[in-house]
Amino acid sequence: MGGSQSALQERDALKDPELVSKKVADLKHQGERMSKALFTRLDEVGAECQKALADSESWNNSHVAAAVFFRLASVSELLDSLMLKFCGPETLPSQTKLGEQLISSLLERIEKLEESNVKLEKMCLDNKASCTELTKLRGLEKKILELQSNLSSVTEDMSSSQKKIHHLEQSTSIIPELEDKLKTVTTEMEACRIESKIQKDKIKSLQTLALDSASLGSQLKKMKSKHKALKQQMLTIKDEKDTASLLFAKKISSLEKLGKILNKDPSQAGAKPKLKMMDDNVHEQILSLQMKVDLLQRHQVGFTVKLPNHIRISRNTQVRNLLQVINNNGYCFEPYSGHFVAPYNGLYCFCIKLEGDVNHNFTICLMSRKVHKEAVKEYEIPISINSPISGLCVLYLFAQERVFVNIATSLFPVILKNAFTFSGWSIGFE
């Protein structure tokens, strides 16, 4: 009953033109406001529906979106007709009932549209999530394709590596044989190196011997010529000695005869001064011959000295103070000074010999010094590493002339491990 009464009241109210016009104005105002909002929403929903239709990959989602789109189109048409009927200048009161029906129908459709819109928004969100997942899946698919391509390249590399490993395994089987050959070659190379070193040492020794031989050859020629001259001189002196001996014997016999005559005949006393003069002359000749004989009978002199083994020699080392005497024939070598003093004028030969290895290069010098004069370098021997060497030198010395040996080193000290000997002897005197 209450419902029928309200309906009757509404019908009575519709009969009043003022109420109808007021209600129509309210409906018109409400329809304009709702139409504006609805048009804005329709544009947004239409854009979203088109995007959903474009991005949708599910038939159900696209079907629902199309249905919502058509519903929105029908609502738009109804709204347009509503605006024409209720918002136009020629609207009549008789059209109010129809307007109410249309409005109620419109409201129902708007409610359905809102429900559909909510579903559409949910579907759009689901679609966005699906699109995001689809994008991720596509990215994963790309990564899977890349991994597959990488896997194929890795497979190719593995096959190539397997081939190389197989080749290396085949090569590895040859390694023991190659090691044996390498050991054999290394042993042969070491033997060749040792043999080469021995040959080099022999070549150096031969070169040293060749130099010494050349030096000895020239010195031997000088000695031969000097020996020949000395031999000739000795023969001459011997002849003079024989002649003087004969003369001396003859003069002695003559003097004996004269003595006998003088003892028998005193009248020959004036002949004594003459005999005395002859006797003095003969005595001088005898003394001269005696000196020559003494010169020929002079003893040969010689010496041999050495340095201690494992000695360290620097630039300030006085070598002549370290020499140890082995032999000193004639006592012409002075141990306290390290000098050889020539007893007479004549030829003397000196020998320097070094055995073993040295750690640095240096030079051995043979020095001579006359009385009250500076020392002079007479001969030098350059010594190099790993080269045993010796040298000979023949000098003409005056009496009291001194000869000694000196070692000239560089900035580094020299260590002599084995024997260093210095010797000399006389060849002939004047």
- Per residue in 82-141, pLDDT (tens digit) is 555 555 555 545 555 655 666 666 667 677 767 777 777 787 787 778 788 888 888 888
**DSSP per position, 59-105:** HHHHHHHHHHHHHHHHHHHHHHHHHHHHHSTT--GGGHHHHHHHHHH
Other beta carbons less than 10 A from residue 393's beta carbon = 19
pLDDT at 101: 64
Q: Per-residue confidence at 174, pLDDT binned at 50, 70, 90?
A: confident
Measured distance CA(221)–CA(207) in Å, rounded: 21
- Per residue in 130-149, pLDDT (tens digit) is 788 888 888 888 888 888 88
pLDDT at 59: 41
Measured distance CA(130)–CA(123) in Å, rounded: 10
pTM of the model: 0.38
Query: Of 90, 76, 2, whose CA–CA distance to 37 is shortest?
Result: 76
Helix 272-296 and helix 175-264: axis angle, to 10°? Answer: 170
Tokens of 424: 């000399």
pLDDT at 287: 64
